A and B are shown apart, each in its own frame.
Chain A
Amino acid sequence: MADRHELEVEIVAEDHFVWSGPAQSVSARTIDGEIGILPGHTPMLAVLGDGDVVVQQAGGQTITAHAEGGFFSVDNDRVVIVAGAASLNGTAAGQGAA
């Protein structure tokens, strides 16, 4: 954890790539409950429940993606959020999608 302070986040949907970029933290709702991911998290594979995934960017902006029925994996500070149907609707969605 000491040498890396950022997460690398990727959001993909079934038929297209949605967003990728650096982030400070990611919080999501799994089918068991809420989970927050910070840099240095152990590798993890979890099934997402119905709810929003919030990506906290380095600049303090947030990206909210509605990720329905997908899963996400954390591996070496790389977070891949795989969603059946993902759409961005965050405050920084415009910049994020660019």
Chain B
Amino acid sequence: MGAQIRVYRQKIASTQSMQKIFKAMELIATSRIGKARERVAASLPYANAITRAVSAVSSQQDIEHVLTSEVENPRRSAVLILSSDRGMAGAYSANILRHAEELLEKLHSEGKETDVYLVGRKAQGYFDFRGREYKDLWSGDTDSPKFERAREIGRTLVDSFLHDTEDGGVDEIHVVFTEFHSLVSQVPTVVRLLPLEVVEEEVTDETELLPLYEYEPAPEDVLDALLPKYIESRIFSAMLQSAASELANRQRAMKSAGDNAKDLVREYTLKMNNARQAEITQELTELIAGADALSAS
């Protein structure tokens, strides 16, 4: 009987110490979300300016560019998966990987080969464990991405896009990331980055807004300079949103883990008290029975 109480006491102690960890992680996540959201907001002016410029140039119908033209029969696709470096964020990485799997399956069913590019150690672990191949991996800074990293990724992807399919190049690039809507809603999203498809939408409703620009140097060269930057900016924004989503997910997961720990502590305390009471009762019974037996003899 005494053993049972001791077991409960140990369980309570370990649950309480875990509860402290959960609480601390929740607080850390909470304090970082604000900063992550600010960074998302701070990257907006650049993203808007570059999107506007790109759509201004490409809305001029006569311009053809490698990065905007679609290959007729795309044979190979690159898929960039943005996951997190660390766990303890609920279903965050699992969700992203599930969406990535769906996309990969869809691409395979269309008869395309896929090149996978990973961001974050969780995606790496997932692919390594299953012994699956990936082209490239970036990890170590998913919770506070730097623009340099986005530039590196952008260059790698654009490079492989510019190569012929025969030389190991790709015909299209997809990005799987988590869109940050609000603290309670983050949605895993798949976006096709290249060839550009955003442009076509914007031509229709912004035609009258965009003036006819003069270009210096020629429009083609301007587009040459702009498009890689545009891609980098899109990747950066995806990384920032993913980082904010990761933190929001972690905060939520840690909050519910903390709540569960609290419930467990309460439950174990009740059981421990029950056990103690039972032990006392039994001891009393034994004493009384013993005394009875002695006095009877």
Contacts and interface: CB of A to CB of B under 8 A. Distances in A.
B43 A32 contact: no
Interface residues of A, number: 24
Interface stretch (A13-21, A57-65, A90-98): A13-21
Given A17-B45, A45-B214, A73-B53, 7 more contacts: A14-B147, A15-B43, A43-B213, A44-B214, A44-B215, A73-B52, A82-B46
Nearest to A46: B216
- Secondary structure call for the B interface: helix
Interface of A: 10, 12-17, 30-32, 35, 42-47, 71, 73, 75-76, 80, 82, 84
Nearest to A20: B45
Interface in B174-228: 211-217, 221-222, 225-226
A32 B42 CA distance: 31
Interface in B39-97: 39, 42-43, 45-46, 49-50, 52-53, 56-57
A32 to B, nearest CB: 6
A16 B56 contact: no
Contacts of B52: 73
B213 A14 contact: no
Nearest to A84: B229
- Secondary structure call for the A interface: strand
Top 3 A-B pairs, shortest CB-CB distance:
A46-B216, A43-B211, A12-B45
A71 B225 CA distance: 9
A31 B222 CA distance: 10
A31 B233 CA distance: 22
Contacts, number: 74
Interface of B: 39, 42-43, 45-46, 49-50, 52-53, 56-57, 147, 211-217, 221-222, 225-226, 229, 232-233, 236
B216 A14 contact: no
Nearest to B39: A15
19 contacts: A12-B45, A13-B46, A14-B43, A14-B46, A15-B147, A16-B43, A17-B45, A44-B215, A45-B53, A45-B56, A45-B216, A46-B215, A46-B222, A47-B222, A71-B53, A73-B56, A75-B213, A82-B46, A82-B49
A25 to B, nearest CB: 17
B221 A44 contact: no
A12 B46 CA distance: 6
Given A43-B211, A47-B216, A73-B49, A14 B233 contact: yes
